[in-house]
Amino acid sequence: MALEPGAVIGFVGTGVMGGAMAGHLMDAGYVLRVHNRTREKASHLVDRGAVWCAKAGEVADGADAVVTIVGYPADVERIYLGDDGLIARARVGALLVDMTTSTPSLAVRIADAAAARGVHALDAPVSGGDVGARDAKLTIMVGGDAGAFAEAEPLLQVMGPNVVLQGGPGAGQHTKMANQIAIADTIVGVCESLAYAEAAGLDPARVLESIGAGSAGSWQLTNYAPRMLRGDFAPGFFVKHFIKDMRIARDEAEAMGIALPGLLLALDLFEELARTGHEDRGIHALYLLYRERVRAAGR
């Protein structure tokens, strides 16, 4: 049975992206039970009528489905598999949807543990950052049972129109790794392009007018490059979380025996950026490394 408006949805993780996503569900008519590590970040939802839950597991009480989007795989494991976690508290037949970028192996473990209790679980990581979350235009990559996907699809489409079932448990996370690899390589290219333009004495903003409309165009170039040039490095997606994602992708690639040198270069650069105190900025803050190198060269 599809999850239509009026269904009770537990929601864990109301930060930069989750807060907007939960808000769209309320706008669509879903009834929310919410939890966040910092209560203040859920206050705008509680003020609108969402029920506050002091612990993550509590959101599952009486819920038809639970959506989670938290920081790290360790958080996902604790929330789902803990003694008082979501799987333990979910009613038989409920649906659990983890939208965190996590490890494929953990997604499989959660799906197996949920099935053992008569609960359905999907891994459904997203792409689109804060802008996509705010505008309800996220891309959602799903792994799990086809029947559970059909049940969840109306709910997921409230948060983004591009919702695709990629395969069984873990397939959503593997697809997100492919997505993050493409972003990592592309954002390095954007930074290097702007650094070259600046070193050559060009106006980088004017350069963008030319290359953004040509074959070099990309989402990263269109959305992040202007923010780089303005010095606006507010996080839509944190550097520290992107490093987590790239490390997962690196480990998965190594396990499969494939070489991804572009990913490894990007990971090295972002780890350097984090060491210089920028782990809580947006990922486009990578440009700060390149800008410093251009200035150190006297350009």
Neighbouring-strand partners of residue 298: none
Given 167, 186, 220, the domain boundary residue is: 167
Which pLDDT value is given to residue 1?
Answer: 73
pLDDT at 73 over 70: yes
Q: Is position 1 within any domain?
A: no
Total domains present in the chain:
2
d(CA 129, CA 176): 13
Question: For residue 139, what are its two tokens?
Answer: 């891309």
SS3 167: strand
Compute CA distances 206 → 47, 145, 213, 224, whole Å. 45, 49, 12, 15
pLDDT-based confidence at residue 295 (cuts at 50, 70, 90): confident
Q: Are residues 292 and 235 part of one domain?
A: yes
pLDDT-based confidence at residue 148 (cuts at 50, 70, 90): very high
Q: Are residues 158 and 187 part of one domain?
A: no
- Please give the span between the terminal C-alpha atoms of the chain, in angstroms, as a whole number: 62
Residue 247 belongs to domain spanning: 174-296
* Catalytic sites, residue numbers: 176
Percent of residues, the chain, with pLDDT higher than 90: 92
Which pLDDT value is given to residue 239?
Answer: 96
Rg over alpha carbons for the chain, rounded to the nearest Å, is 20
Average pLDDT (266-281) is 97
Q: Are residues 142 and 44 part of one domain?
A: yes
Contact partners, residue 10, CB within 8 Å, separation at least 6: 32, 33, 34, 35, 53, 59, 60, 61, 63, 65, 66, 67, 86
CATH of the domain at 76: 3.40.50.720
Q: Is position 47 within any domain?
A: yes
Pinpoint the alpha helices (H) of 84-238: 86-89, 104-116, 129-134, 146-159, 171-199, 204-211, 219-223, 225-230
> Which pLDDT tens digit goes with each residue over 79-116?
999 999 999 999 999 999 999 999 999 999 999 999 99
Q: Are residues 229 and 98 part of one domain?
A: no
Q: Are strands 65-68 and 95-98 parallel, antiparallel or unpaired?
A: parallel
pLDDT-based confidence at residue 254 (cuts at 50, 70, 90): very high
d(CA 25, CA 64): 14
Which pTM value belongs to this model? 0.93
Q: Are residues 235 and 256 part of one domain?
A: yes
pLDDT at 51 over 90: yes
d(CA 89, CA 69): 18
Mean pLDDT is lowest, of 57-66, 214-223, 275-284, 290-299, for 290-299
Which pLDDT value is given to residue 299?
Answer: 63
Q: Are residues 198 and 143 part of one domain?
A: no
d(CA 205, CA 196): 13
CATH of the domain at 235: 1.10.1040.10
